[in-house]
Structure 1
Amino acid sequence: MAQELKGKKIAILATDGVERVELEQPRGALHGAGARTEILSIHPGEIQARQWDMNPAGTFAVDRLVSDASTGDYDALLLPGGTMNPDQLRMNRDAVGFVKAFVATGKPIGTICHGPWTLVEADAVRGRRITSWPSIRTDLRNAGATVVDEEVVIDRQIISSRSPADLPAFCAAIVEQFAKAGQQVPG
């Protein structure tokens, strides 16, 4: 089943401050399963990655501006974390609008660590069971989510994990759930 995502195109929404490992490892798992990915961002060129939010960790090339992207072009969405990354995304109208529209499609969304912050801004966690990095759990609760402390949580279309320590389980879960992308689950 090494090609379970063959023919699938996955959007990765990220900007400066993205936690390198939270973009790189899931993207590698998606590519390994046959998917194509595009990094969408709020500015062109490259985005600056970080390691544990503190240390510069190289760059990733931006494939397309989120303002120019259409949810219909993608089978699934990945929202990696890092503190600065989702904090900037949730302040960007185009990024929040894209996430809100993606949720409405019913297509799967994988998010890890601080990534759910953008889902909060898009009013997409109300009534859902989700996990995240501990410091944003109050924000998730205040936005109407049921927050749990588990390695991977799947609630309808949203697959969430807590931290880089959960990446092996998270990567397996997103590959499995993204493979079901044609079988949309209403948001």
Structure 2
Amino acid sequence: MAKLTDKRVVMVIAEKNFRDEEFFKPKEALENAGVKVDVASSNTKLAKGTLGKTYVPDKLVLDINVSDYDAVIFIGGAGCRQYWKDAKALSVIKEAVVQGKVVGGICSAGATLALAGVLENKKATCFPGEAQILKDNGANYTAKSVEVDGNIITADGPGSAVAFGEALVKKLGE
């Protein structure tokens, strides 16, 4: 596969309790493909994953300029619920869809996409506990491990983190 060195994505993690493998495994897949990955959160202090891994975000969600990126990816874990009512996070998702960018959400972050209103009439999956949120917001919930509908890629949880990363790389290579 050709290197995707001309591609740039932003991954959004919670400041606390993002799901470690849902972040690190897709990030590794993207970087191995040559993609430039920026990481955003609600602050730029040390973010801590559910399983104890840490990461210092590059930027604030407030500072994301969607036009700078080829994809916007929201990472799951219980902490991602902080973005469910975050106006800037939801507007980033909406703007990414309007601009035709790749938009990803894994695990509970699938609900973030649904709450942004971008999953209506789209096939999507998420952590099973959030399935009703997808349905209530017009998504066609499939319960698959990874679902791709146009430029929107969703995954059901940590066990699908590698496949989610592979799907993101494939879509960015199209």
TM-score range for the pair, normalised by the shorter chain length: over 0.9
Q: Give me the whole-angstrom Cα distance separating, in 2, the residues matched to 1:65 and 1:130.
A: 27
Q: 1:66 and 2:61 equivalent?
A: yes
SS in 2 for 1:12: strand
Q: Give me the whole-angstrom Cα distance separating, in 2, the residues matched to 1:165 and 1:2.
A: 27
CA offsets, 1:85-126, max 9 Å, x none? Answer: 2x1012222111111111211111122111112112211111
Within the candidate set 111, 125, 142, 2:119 is matched to 125
Q: 1:175 and 2:169 equivalent?
A: yes
Q: 1:116 and 2:106 equivalent?
A: no
**Sequence identity of aligned pairs in percent?**
28
1:151 Cα deviation (Å)? 2.1
Partner of 1:38 in structure 2?
A: 38
Partner of 1:161 in structure 2?
A: 155
Q: TM-score, normalised by structure 1?
A: 0.88
Question: Please, what is the CA RMSD of the aligned residues?
Answer: 1.3
For the Cα contact (< 8 Å) 1:130–1:145, is it kept in 2? yes
Q: Give me the whole-angstrom Cα distance separating, in 2, the residues matched to 1:171 and 1:119.
A: 17
Q: Give me the whole-angstrom Cα distance separating, in 1, the residues matched to 2:141 and 2:32.
A: 31
Within the candidate set 129, 136, 141, 1:135 is matched to 129
Identify unmatched segments of 5+ residues in structure 1: 52-56, 181-187
1:2 Cα deviation (Å)? 5.6
SS in 1 for 2:10: strand
Count the aligned residue pairs.
Answer: 173
Partner of 1:183 in structure 2?
A: none
Q: Give me the whole-angstrom Cα distance separating, in 1, the residues matched to 2:143 and 2:91.
A: 28
For the Cα contact (< 8 Å) 1:17–1:49, is it kept in 2? yes
Matched letter for residue 6 of structure 2: G
For the Cα contact (< 8 Å) 2:111–2:126, is it kept in 1? no
For the Cα contact (< 8 Å) 1:2–1:32, is it kept in 2? no
Q: TM-score, normalised by structure 2?
A: 0.94
Identify unmatched segments of 5+ residues in structure 2: none
For the Cα contact (< 8 Å) 1:42–1:95, is it kept in 2? no
Q: Give me the whole-angstrom Cα distance separating, in 2, the residues matched to 1:171 and 1:58.
A: 18
For the Cα contact (< 8 Å) 1:42–1:92, is it kept in 2? no
| Equivalences for residues 79-94 of structure 1 within 5 A | 79-85=74-80, 87-94=81-88
CA offsets, 1:22-47, max 9 Å, x none? Answer: 00000000000001101111122221
Q: Give me the whole-angstrom Cα distance separating, in 1, the residues matched to 2:60 and 2:149.
A: 28
Q: Give me the whole-angstrom Cα distance separating, in 2, the residues matched to 1:177 and 1:168.
A: 14
Q: Give me the whole-angstrom Cα distance separating, in 1, the residues matched to 2:67 and 2:30.
A: 19
CA offsets, 1:14-69, max 9 Å, x none? Answer: 11221011000000000000011011111222212113xxxxx1321110111112
